[in-house]
Amino acid sequence: MTAGNALARSGEAGDDLLFWLGFLLIVVPPAVAIVGPRPSRGARVTLLVGVGFLLYLTKVLHDPFAFTFSDELLHLSNTEQILREGALFPENPILPVSVYYPGLASLTAALSIATGLGAFPAGLIVIGAARTLLMLSLFLLFERLTGSARLASVAGFVYIASPNFLFWTAQFSYQSLALPLAGVAALAVVMRGLERDQNDRQGWTVLFMVLALAVVMTHHLTGYALVATLVAVSLAALAGFGRAREAAWALALFTAVAAAVWLFQVAPIAGDYLGTIFGRSFGGVADTVAGTSEARRPFRSSEGEVAPLWERVTGYVSVLLLALALPMGLFRILRRRRRSAFLVVAGAAGAAFMAILPLRLVPSAWETANRASDFLFVGIGLGIALAALHLGRDGRATAPRRAAAAVFIAVVTIGGALVGWPPSARLSQPYEVRIGDRSVQPPGVALAHWSRRELGPGNGYVADESNGRMLLAYGQQRPFTGRDGLARYALESTAVTPELRAALRENGVAYAAVDRRRVSRDALQGIFFARPGQPLQGRDGYLPPERTGTLDRPDTDRLFDSGDVVVYGVAGLYR
Amino acid sequence: MTVRRPAVWAMLAVLALAAATVCALAPDVPALRLPAALALALWLPGHALVELLGLAGRDRVRTLTLALGASLAIALIVAVELAAFGVLAAETWAATTAAACFAASLAVSHRHAALGPATRVAPGPPRPRHLALAALAVTAVAAVGTAVVLARTPLPVPDDRGYTVLAVAPTASGSGAVTVRATSEEATSRSYVMRVSFGGRVAEERALTLEPGETSEQRVSVPPDAAGPLVVSLLDTARIPPVPYRSVRVADPRRIEVVS
């Protein structure tokens, strides 16, 4: 995979082939091994954790110089600000809600100052530990729910096919840390439900409370998902599924109160943030159903990039395989409904994953469906594992069965990775390159460093998605970005209107970074050099001059010019 | 079932104190700080809590998972609380985390004392020889190390990916001068003409050659009678006639300031 990434950065052919070959080598042989009955429990855990961690390394080696994913730069900025100022709730104009869930940033900052490492390596360690914890907790959770290490390891492998596993939950972002902590909290709930001894139940309760508090401080949605899970388990226990002592009303209440206190006392902005996202999702669904809004076309990015045919076919087949196998697994879960209320809830989560797949066709609801998969795929893992082990219930791991398992795992894991990340961002892009005899970083990095050094920190900026993130993370500026709102208004206007002057003044915007490359609007790809073989200006070419020249006026200053990126001092527009 | 390991509490307490001491007192010894801080963030406090709650069992996978999860949670909560009071530092974080671990360890010792004499955990089944596994592990680490080195090796891109930055900034507030910096990230040496003009009238032209990685810094004084904008351009002399390659401009050079 590293060789594939190197080829991609060099613009050479064969990069995709090597990448997927490496992916299959990591995933398939261990998957085939754990399907059989022979491996010991220790071997199963080792394989599962090993594969999960290797896939995390895949992400690390994708960007070994710095955090480059769009959300990573936002959380890096939060971390750096805590390191500089030693205090919580710094300013983050691109994702304001993130500063009010400071678990990841604070832990990374603490590890950074305690080890002497920078925020980047400290963040890699934190997320690496989180990935390890996710795999361990999933294994134990599945094992307790099914009573079988074999089932647990198979279910864990199926979870790897979750669309967000390869990159999204491996990135330096608050959900990547909150999800594993919630996994251990869920394990504590299951263990508590199994215990008869009051002392042991109390022990699990205390452990749960510590973990739940950490989740609440780290990520809003994961905290709410934990509450929803506990309520669902308690309702299931009340309805006669599993054991009555599995009911976790007190834990649900504790988590709900903690999440509510945090929401209202610390992060009231989260209500608006999530309300906007869900409101847009529901509105989008209604519009799409009514036919007033165009449906989203799968495997086509918002920038119009269409995935190759083989990727589309594999993606559809992977979903089809899961959809075909899941009902059998859900049937097995129903037959075991007396065993565990949590198991029933997990089955319902698997069914819910399938039920909300159509949301991926709604442009404004796609992201909601995608994020939900991190939680709901736990049910897919359990369901598919139960189905697979039922099909092979005589315990014989024959060659055809192993081959079928290998093909199944290969298709669903590749399908998940394909669905989860755009093709052109899947392999490495040139970040630190050799030009002549020197290592050089992209102009956006130079812009960020220049801004911090020459302008000082905290200046109001309007910028595109990629330069804005660099200005925030490395330039310590206060950038406004986004496809809506002030940044778009300022950067895409063809005339300087009184309204624009007023908006710039009201928001304290003193500078505008104008990048004439269209790709700079893409937060995932705009920060990189163009790959060798691509045009100098990137895959999408330049914006027309009338879209980039509006601010080039006698009453603005032109302070920075790197060719593609120009910084204007715009305070003269409203002074 | 609760499994009691003799002296585990003492081991945890001593390790926690040692780790905190290293983090706080050995800031210049990264080889010691890294493992100490990792132990405080990923293992010690969680393990102490798990022991205290009686959740550590014979199942090492479970104990490891709970210790890792609880440690991350405790280290995180401590970091958030310290940052909330504006006192997050290596010493405070390490000391607080170690104190939590120490307190839990003491509580474990009391718990053990209340339960009576310690019982040794029965030894597990004999382990197979691990030479093959060790060899595999070394091979895996070497492979990962090679991958990291390869991934972190900057690869060449075409020379035209190089760029030159021209930027202008006030020298000092009210100094009546600006600093113009030209930085080359090009592949080869490039020659330019730097042209300075006020209000469209050329005030100065000078040849400028930038080597790769070189920054040229020039102070441009603004004459009191300067009229019109200050424009500084780099003209590319590789073209005939030379064409503007980079350009910066200050609209009102008599009022040069940075707006923050």
Domain boundary among A395, A426, A457: A426
B104 touches chain A (CB under 8 A): no
Q: What is the pLDDT of residue B184?
A: 93
Residues 6+ apart with CB under 8 A from A406: A28, A31, A32
Interface membership of A556 toward B (CB under 8 Å): yes
**Residue A396 reports pLDDT greater than 90:** no
- Give the nearest chain A residue to B179 (CA atoms): A454
* pLDDT recorded at residue B1: 46
- What pLDDT, on the 0 to 100 scale, is given for residue A164? 93
**Residue A385 contacts B where some CB pair is shorter than 8 Å:** no
> Which of residues A390, A410, A426 is at a domain's end?
A426
B100 has pLDDT over 50: yes
> Are A76 and A210 in the same domain?
yes
Name the residue among A203, A433, A569 with its Cβ closest to that of B161.
Answer: A433
Residues of chain A with Cβ-Cβ distance to B168 below 8 Å are 557, 559-560
In the predicted model, what is the mean pLDDT of residues A435-443?
A: 90
Q: Is residue A257 located within the same domain as residue A275?
A: yes
Average pLDDT for B203-226: 88
Q: A88 — contact with chain B (CB < 8 Å)?
A: yes
Average pLDDT over residues B203-217: 92
Average pLDDT along chain A: 90
Instruction: Give pLDDT, residue B21.
Output: 83
| Percentage of the residues of chain B whose pLDDT score is greater than 90 | 35
Same domain, A399 and A470: no
CB contact under 8 A, A129 and B246: no
> Model pTM?
0.91
My answer on whether A455 and A399 are in the same domain is no
Work out the minimum CA distance from B106 to partner chain A, whole angstroms. Answer: 17
- Is residue A101 domain-shared with residue A8, that is, in the same domain? yes
Same domain, A350 and A467: no
Contact A203 B169 (CB under 8 A): no
pLDDT above 50: residue A503: yes
Calpha distance A276→A285 (Å, rounded): 14
Contacts of A443 in chain B (CB under 8 A): 163, 165
Q: How far apart are CA B63 and CA B41, in angstroms?
A: 16
Domain match, A452 and A422 both: no
Whether the Cβ atoms of residue A425 and residue A524 lie closer than 8 Å to each other: yes
Which residue in B54, B65, B165 is closest to A136 by CB distance? Answer: B65
Collect all residues of chain A within an 8 Å Cβ-Cβ radius of residue B251: 554-557, 569, 572
Based on the fold, state whether residues A437 and A309 are members of the same structural domain. no
Does A356 share its domain with A448?
A: no
> Scanning every residue of chain A, which has its alpha carbon at the shortest distance from the alpha carbon of B62?
A140
State how far the Cα of A173 lies from the Cα of A75, in Å rounded to an integer.
6
Distance between CA atoms of A100 and A174, rounded to whole angstroms? 11
* Nearest residue on chain B to A188, alpha-carbon basis: B66
Q: Is the dihedral of CA B24, B26, B29, B33 positive or negative?
A: negative
Show the tokens assigned to B12: 């945890």
> Chain A contacts of B78, Cβ < 8 Å?
110
- Cβ atoms of A393 and A150 within 8 Å: the answer is no
Residues A131, A36 share a domain = yes
On whether both A20 and A105 belong to a single domain, the answer is yes
Predicted local confidence at residue A129, as pLDDT: 98
Indicate the residue among A407, A426, A445 that finishes a domain.
Answer: A426
Lowest mean pLDDT across A168-182, A439-453, B36-50, B211-225: B211-225
What is the pLDDT at residue A212?
98
pLDDT of residue A219: 96
More confident residue, A363 or B150: B150
Task: Calculate what percentage of chain A has a pLDDT beyond 90.
Answer: 61
State how many domains chain A has.
2
Q: Which residues of B touch A136 (CB under 8 A)?
A: 61, 64-65, 68
CB of B88 within 8 Å of a chain A CB? The answer is yes
Task: Give the residue carrying structure tokens 């360690």.
Answer: A125
Closest CA to A560 of A480, A473, A471, A466: A471
Structure-block tokens of residue B238: 């590789």
Q: For A250-294, write each residue's pLDDT tens digit.
A: 999 999 999 999 999 999 999 988 888 888 888 877 787 777 777
* Per-residue tokens: B65: 């998972």
Kindly state whether B166 is in contact with chain A, defined as any CB-CB distance less than 8 angstroms: yes
Pick A365 or A80 by higher pLDDT.
A80
- Is the predicted pLDDT of residue A478 greater than 60, yes or no? yes
Q: Cα separation of A307 and A298, whole Å?
A: 9
* Nearest-CA distance A317 → chain B (Å): 32
Residue B35 has pLDDT above 70, yes or no: yes
Q: Shortest CB distance from A450 goes to which of B23, B41, B167? A: B167
Query: pLDDT digit string (tens) for A140-153?
Result: 999 999 999 999 99
User: A202 is in which domain, residue-wise?
Assistant: 2-426
ipTM of predicted assembly, 2 dp: 0.92
Q: Is A115 on the interface with B (CB under 8 A)?
A: yes
B251 touches chain A (CB under 8 A): yes
Between residues A566 and B102, the one the model is more confident about:
A566
A236 shares a domain with A198 = yes
pLDDT band at B119 (very low <50, low <70, confident <90, very high): low
State pLDDT tens for residues A7-18: 988 888 888 899
pLDDT confidence of residue A342: 93
Interval A383-388 mean pLDDT:
90
Which tens digit of pLDDT belongs to each residue from A83-118?
Answer: 998 888 888 889 999 999 999 999 999 999 999 899
Asked if A180 lies within 8 A of B69 by C-beta distance, the reply is yes
How far CA A451 is from CA of A47, A447, A559, A565, B259, in Å, comes to 47, 6, 10, 13, 12
Averaged pLDDT for residues B224-244? 84
Burial class from Cβ neighbours inside 10 Å (0-12, 13-18, 19+) for residue A43 reads middle
pLDDT at A440 over 50: yes
